[in-house]
Amino acid sequence: MSTILVTGGAGYIGSHMCVELLQAGHEVVVLDNLSNSSARSLEAVERITQRSLHFHEVDVRDTDALRKIFATYELESVLHFAGLKAVGESVSEPASYYDNNVVGSLRLVEAMMEAGVHNLVFSSSATVYGMPEEMPITESFQTGPINPYGQTKLHVEQMLTDIAGSNPDWRISLLRYFNPVGAHASGEIGENPNGIPNNLVPFISQVAVGRRPHLNVFSDDYPTPDGTGIRDYIHVVDLVRGHMKALEFLRRNPGIHVHNLGTGRGYSVLEMIRAFEAASGRQVEYRVVERRPGDAAVSYADPAKAERELGWKAEFGIERMCEDVWRWQSHYPNGFDAADSP
């Protein structure tokens, strides 16, 4: 078994990753500055797995702190989730996105080079494709992000491609996620957005639990069967299992590799509302409003390359995604740090 560094491990996807790694018997070191998470997620990870992990409250841009971590543990691989991810905020605060996402990744890679650690999995995003006209999206599609957040992801991909090209020891996996949703089946960890959720499923879930009066559906005049936007929602547990497969793949394959992580199936906003109502037994009020600028009508993955090369395929459907979100949301209606949390 190996020792693995998870940057951003207290966050939504990172905490689910820690569960999977600990359950597979690995030692886990988490680095997170808690800018968008709570250390309580890591306590929950330890409860679920009945194992302990090593947590360092550290910023990924802090070279000295990184050096100490690399000197303390014999790290085999790094899973790099730390970063900022809100598209709208990236438009109003681009410098902060370049700093956390691009500079943060550079500092991490420098520390890895210094320590002689060369295995890295990077959380990229389908947002690097911009607004493709054809579906499904394969990895060979042209990239062309349409917002600063997406630009930072593409810059990091490009930087890592150059770095992998400079030394044959590197083994790097770029994973382009579609729309991660869902939660661990225990209901103990899940997505816990600060303030008003930007993403569809956390918003629906907060309406169902009574925190928000209604959902705004961003238009029903798209050229889709019911007029609402279609996305490829992927269960977070399937997603993190894709990372386990990517780690195995890197053991056999040096160099840099890119894979889409999606289900290959799209669902509309109205289909997601109905699935959530069925899973929760609650009604989800909604109003149809204007389109949100920058939204594509349809986006879904071609996951064939991940299936072929990683031996990975998403298993969970939207019913299970919604059931698991609802279990988490009803357990922690106001998030981890709220007064009413268990």
Are residues 195 and 280 in contact, defined by beta-carbon separation less than 8 angstroms? no
Which residue among 41, 101, 127, 143 contacts ligand WQD (CB under 6 A)?
Answer: 127
Compute the least distance from the CB of residue 130 to ligand WQD, in Å: 11
Of residues 164, 217, 270, 321, which one binds ligand WQD by CB under 6 A? 217
DSSP string, 276-328: HHHHHS----EEEEPPPTT--SB--B--HHIIIII-------HHHHHHHHHHH
- Compose the 4-43 pattern: x for residues touching ligand NAD by CB under 6 A, - for all others: ----x-xxxxx-----------------xxxxxx------
Cβ atoms 1, 27 nearer than 8 A: yes
- By CB under 6 A, residue 203 contacts ligand WQD: yes
- Taking the least distance from each CB to ligand WQD, the nearer of 254 and 294 is 294
Name the residues annotated as catalytic: 149
Q: In what order do the strands lie in the sheet with 3-7?
A: 54-57, 27-32, 3-7, 77-80, 119-125, 171-177, 255-261
DSSP H/E element including 119? strand 119-125
What is the full DSSP assignment across 201-257? HHHHHHHHTTSSS-EEEE-S-SSSTTSS-EE-EEEHHHHHHHHHHHHHHHHH--EEE
Q: Please tell me whether residue 85 binds ligand WQD under the rule CB under 6 A.
A: yes
Residues binding ligand NAD: number (CB under 6 A): 26
Does position 175 bind ligand WQD by CB under 6 A? Answer: no
Q: Which of 184, 231, 241, 257 binds ligand WQD (CB under 6 A)?
A: 231
**Does residue 125 interact with ligand WQD by CB under 6 A?**
yes
Options 90, 105, 119, 123; binder of ligand NAD; rule CB under 6 A: 123
Of 55, 70, 81, 129, the one binding ligand NAD by CB under 6 A: 81
- Select from ligand NAD, ligand WQD, none the partner in contact with residue 123, using the beta carbon and a kind-dependent cut-off of 5 to 8 Å: ligand NAD
Structure tokens at 146: 């349409």
Residue 311 backbone phi and psi in degrees, to 5? 70, 40
Binding site for ligand NAD (CB under 6 A): 8, 10-14, 32-37, 59-61, 81-85, 100, 104, 123, 125, 177, 180
